[in-house]
Structure 1
Amino acid sequence: MDYSAAQHPAAHDASSDEPAHDTQRASRAKAIAAITLGNGLEFFDFTIYSFFATIIGKLYFPVEGQLAQLMLAVGTFGVGFIMRPVGGVVLGAYADRAGRKAAMSLTLWLMTLGSAIIAFAPTYAAIGVAAPVLVIVARLVQGFALGGEVGASTSLLMEYGSDKTRGFYGSWQFVSQGMNTVCGSLLGVALAAALSTAALESWGWRVPFVIGMAMGPIGIYIRRHLNETLPGVEDGNAPVNADAATQPVRKLFRDHSRAIAAGVVTTIGGTAANYIVLFYLSTYAIRILHLPMSSALWAAWTAAAVTVVCSPFAGALSDRVGRKPVLLVSRVLLIAAVYPAFIAINASPTVPVLLAVVAALAVLVAFTAVPNIVMLPELFPREIRATGMSIVYCLGVSIFGGFAQFFATWLIQLSGSNLAPAWYLIGCGLVSLVPLPFMRETAGRAID
């Protein structure tokens, strides 16, 4: 018997636990990578559409006027968000019954199907009105899939973290969204630089959708070794709370209606800023500022790269000082900054000014969106968390995020002012602050 070890149990425990601790950290790092990569692949498939909205509008919505074509194209981008709440309910409930892994695999297959339809859909010139119908169907399938993906993947990320690290772990949901935009915008820049306008409009724009379609099975393979965090799923036992497992939606609306309402309204400000800054400003630069496509896509790349870098810091900061303070300060700053930002890029419509403005706004977007998205799954108990997160996030995103580009373009046409998108962001931001004082602080507190 090792008497020294018996007399100093603390020393013995520390030495024996160190390899286990290192193994656990490595396992969690792999889990974050697997969830983030899979989630990023799904968002890549969904959002690459926005980078080629001007070309898709020309090929599939041949109405008179470039602004009208753009409105139809970005409106179709928003159509995908209509199905998000439906996907959130159906696939979120599935994730709370069959497990997070099963739900995330299903969403990847559905996203792959949507990308395949867009990649090979004939144009309006070839098959007439059936062409835009195919695009709309594909966007509906993708929206349904992504509605379930966000709830399942964010819940899984949060459940890998501890009470003191959930903000950091949850921030990787937003990192994955930024990563897909980085990859998508770089691919767009490369295609715009390498191909002629005729080639890009003929077949080049389809390349990202083919790539996204092919990446689906890779994402499923990456995720197959993740540990399930829903009790009873891996060993085949019934969930602890049978009622919650079989009726998650009914239980959610019966017991957590106030949390749903507060979460939806709070999400409006973050998601509107996210889709305007990360996606719409590149289209805005092309159509409104008349910058070349290759240059404008660098705006999307800059915004995404900044959010990828800043998001983990935003999550860690929310763990230290709380979700609500970080969200409140950053959102107020964003509301104050967005109008001067649009004035600046219209006064000097050059690439350096555009990139500087986008980078500054993207920092604020990261620090306001991360604590927001982290708070949502913390509002609900584990057995209905994926469903609750999916419904709240998708309801908030569906209209005010998905149709943000449409509303911004419509406001420009209605008012005749190129500064109109700033008004939209300011309005959404102010409304989203209303429920914040009534929401409980979740940082550093046990949620299960």
Structure 2
Amino acid sequence: MNATTAASVAGSRQNSWRAVAAASIGNALEWFDLVVYGFFAVIISRLFFPAGNETVSLLLTLGTFGVSFFMRPLGAIVIGAYSDRAGRKAALTLSILLMMSGTLIIAILPTYQSIGVAAPLILVLARLMQGFSAGGEFGSATAFLAEHVPGRRGFYASWQMASQGLTTLLAAGFGALLTGQLSPEQMASWGWRVPFFFGLLIGPVAFYIRTRLDETPEFLAAETTQTPLRDTFATQKLRLVIAMGVVILGTVSAYLMLFMPTYGVRQLGLAPSVAFAAIAVTGLIQMVFSPVAGHWSDLHGRTRIMLSAAVLLLVLVYPAFAYLIAHPSFGTLIVWQIVFGFLVSGYFGATPGLLSEIFPVQTRTTGMSLAYNVAVTIFGGFGPFIIAWLISATGSKAAPSFYVMFAALLSIAALLGARRKLGFR
């Protein structure tokens, strides 16, 4: 290798890691703001939805969590199509500005006691804004990562999921620290706002980095289309359906983890700080293991890795819940989170690489954004609400496992479809 070639390879690697840093920091911020709301659902329910009944109040809060997901398909359409026309960089910059705006509103919003019914209405508006932003973030960030080094698409795209693991780790860390150090009165007064202000501090840094990125080589080399949405629906319906099915298990599992602090407190009687500490372990595993799963998918095939993880989740999730319920301790919860964390990371770590290959570059962000966000809206956004309702309706604390098994069956069918209809391995 001569000096010119070596310099070119070094420059390409440097640009690739700059892309990873830029997409991951911004993506972590996007998901941090969403996850924090779910983690502090119990406190937010009392401050903004004082229904007089704790269960009704919590269901209203979790319903509001899900309502924001109605905006995600719209965000996927608008920002996804914008990304396929104007470029990945432009879409990433727009999405982070929108997320910061929604976070600012929540951070400074007076409670129901101060301004009455206007408080929950404004909270819903902020959540809708965040949902619209997140709708365009996944497809844009994943395409941006996957298109820098097509030969290692699985590894680089997996940093999308690693950054979500960082999000879980940060949010759980805040939850454990705040609930462990502050009194319930302090948490209700101002403590729950601290993570949202932290997100606002990161925002300008992520925005600065994203505005100074280069566009992806694959996008620049491709012939763009001015009608990516129409092209996607006209010629790629089967790919959309398969991609949506692939996402279902990942999103249900991710939002189950988001619900676990509430589950640990309300169903297992654990201290909030203990529940947050346990879920931080899952975030750490996802952050570290997702790139490993992405790398393995480059070597051994995406669907092979994902099918293995999906079958294990299908088989193990009910026994794991049953054991956790029978032995509700910090140690048991940690073991549960470790096992679950590795399986979910194995599945989700290979998912972005597969999704990015299902769609051609001209419609990649539109297709991925639509498939991901429709699946997330239907199966993930209302996941915590559905889980809480299932527990109430069945009287079984193991009810969350039924939802995961249902999702696993759907995603296994989609993965088999990707192998047989689209030729993926």
TM bucket (normalised to shorter chain) is over 0.9
Question: Contact 1:112/1:214 (CA < 8 Å) preserved in 2?
Answer: no
What residue number does 2:305 align with? 326
The residue that corresponds to 2:208 in the other structure is 221
Bigger fraction of residues in helix: 2
**What is the CA deviation profile of residues 56-93 of structure 1, one whole-angstrom value per residue up to 9, with x for unaligned ones?**
01111111332222211111111121111110000000
Q: Give me the whole-angstrom Cα distance separating, in 2, the residues matched to 1:386 and 1:90.
A: 11
Q: Deviations over 1:392-448 (max 9, x none)?
A: 1001111211111110000001011111011011111112211222213457xxxxx
Distance in structure 2 (CA, Å) of the matches to 1:419 and 1:232? 46
2:127 counterpart residue number: 139
- Residue matched to 1:273: 253
**Range that drifts further, 210-219 or 50-59:** 210-219
Q: Does 1:240 align with 2:228?
A: no
Name 1:200's counterpart in structure 2. 187
The Cα shift of 1:38 comes to 1.1
Q: Distance in 2 between matches of 1:121 and 1:29?
A: 37
The residue matched to 2:270 in structure 1 has which SS?
coil
1:361-416 CA distance string (max 9 Å, x none) = 11000111122232112111111111111001001111211111110000001011
1:109 to 97, 109, 126: 97
Q: Which runs of 5+ in 1 are unaligned?
A: 1-12, 444-448
Could you tell me whether the CA contact under 8 Å between 2:158 and 2:351 is conserved in 1? no
> What is the one-letter code of the residue matched to 1:342?
F
**Residue of structure 2 equivalent to 1:212:** 199
Alignment of 1:168 with 2:148, yes or no, is no
Partner residue, 2:57:
69
1:406 counterpart = 2:385: yes
- 1:282, distance to aligned residue in structure 2 (A): 1.4
* 1:99, distance to aligned residue in structure 2 (A): 1.0
| Larger radius of gyration between Structure 1 and Structure 2 | 1
Q: Secondary structure at the match of 2:158?
A: helix
1:354 counterpart residue number: 333
- Write out aligned runs for 1:29-428 (5 A): 29-163=17-151, 165-229=152-216, 240-241=223-224, 244=225, 246-277=226-257, 279-428=258-407
- 1:10 corresponds in structure 2 to none
Distance apart, 1:232 and its partner CA: 7.9
Aligned residues of 1:323 and 1:441 also touching (Cα < 8 A): no
Counterpart CA distance in 1 for 2:301 and 2:290 is 15
Q: Deviations over 1:27-68 (max 9, x none)?
A: 211221111111111111121111110000111111133222
Number of the residue aligned with 1:5: none
Q: Structure 2 CA distance, aligned partners of 1:203 and 1:413?
A: 31
Q: Which letter does structure 2 place at the counterpart of 1:258?
A: L
Number of residue pairs matched? 422
Work out whether residues 324 and 441 of structure 1, in 8 Å CA contact, stay in contact via their aligned partners in 2: no
Check whether the contact 1:80–1:142 (CA below 8 A) recurs between aligned residues. yes
SS, match of residue 105 in structure 1: helix
Contact kept in structure 2, 1:412 and 1:420, CA below 8 Å: yes
Letter in 1 for 2:53: G
**Cα shift at 1:128:** 1.6
- Write the distance in 2 (CA, Å) between the matches of 1:26 and 1:54: 44
Q: Is the 8 A contact 2:264 2:275 kept in 1?
A: yes
Alignment check: 8 A CA contact 1:412 1:419 kept:
yes
Structure 1 residue identity aligned to 2:76:
G
Output the TM-score relative to the length of structure 1. Answer: 0.91
Q: 1:29 & 1:318 partners in 2: Cα distance?
A: 19
1:231 Cα deviation from its structure 2 partner: 6.8
Once the two structures are TM-superposed, the CA of residue 24 in structure 1 deviates from its matched residue by: 2.0
What is the aligned partner in structure 1 of residue 417 from structure 2? 438
Match of 1:9 in 2: none
Give the letter for the 2:173 counterpart: L
Question: When the two structures are superposed, what TM-score results if normalisation uses the length of structure 2?
Answer: 0.96
Which segment is superposed worse, 88-97 or 28-37? 28-37
Identity of aligned residues (%): 40
Letter in 2 for 1:262: I
